[in-house]
Amino acid sequence: MDEINTLEWIERIGSLLLSFPLVIILILILYRKSIVKILSRFTDDNLVKAKVGPIELERKLEVIVEKGNSAVDRLNKINDLMAKSRQLELEIITGMFQMALPQEQKELLQEHIREFRKLNEESIASESR
């Protein structure tokens, strides 16, 4: 009889220990730090996460915007420099080969030079503002 009572007690205590609400409470207690970190990531608006294959990137949005702006600025400077270089190149070609070039090509080169001058002047004007 004692064995039956003991088994009944074990069954009752076991069912209480393994009940659904109690298991949830134990999990919350054991993993509270991890859960708090996860929840703080969801509430942080400036955090951006990207996962590409096994690589996971996590950056603040401000840092991404700042790096993007500096990259665009560098590309704009490169484009300006390339346009100025091309304008100079066309002027040199026109000066050196003016006698050898047909009239149509001379006019086309002059048109390109005017376009590059216009673009370069607009670029300089926008930088000074």
Would the pLDDT of 4 be above 70?
no
Residue 53 lies in a domain: no
pLDDT of residue 52: 65
Residues 70, 38 share a domain: no
Residues 95, 39 share a domain: no
Residues 19, 67 share a domain: no
Whether residue 97 contacts residue 113, with contact meaning beta carbons closer than 8 Å, is answered with no
Residue 88 lies in a domain: yes
Tokens matching residue 112: 């390109």
Residue 57 lies in a domain: no
pLDDT of residue 126: 75
Would the pLDDT of 5 be above 60?
yes
Write out the DSSP string of 60-128: EHHHHHHHHHHHHHHHHHHHHHHHHHHHHHHHHHHHHSTTTS-HHHHHHHHHHHHHHHHHHHHHHHHHH
Residues 72, 35 share a domain: no
Q: Whole-model pTM?
A: 0.47
Tokens matching residue 118: 């216009």
Domain that holds residue 77: 63-128
Residue 55 lies in a domain: no
Residues 76, 38 share a domain: no
Tokens matching residue 88: 């100079």
Would the pLDDT of 3 be above 70?
no
Residue 117 lies in a domain: yes
Strands (E), the chain: 47-52, 55-60
Q: Whole-number mean pLDDT of the chain?
A: 78
Residue 50 lies in a domain: no
Residue 115 lies in a domain: yes
In tens, the pLDDT along 62-105 reads 777 788 888 898 888 888 888 888 888 888 888 888 888 888 98
| Burial of 90 (C-beta count, 10 Å sphere; 0-12/13-18/19+) | buried
> Which of the 8 DSSP states describes residue 43?
H
**DSSP-assigned beta bridge partners for residue 48:** 59
Number of domains in the chain: 2
Residues 124, 67 share a domain: yes
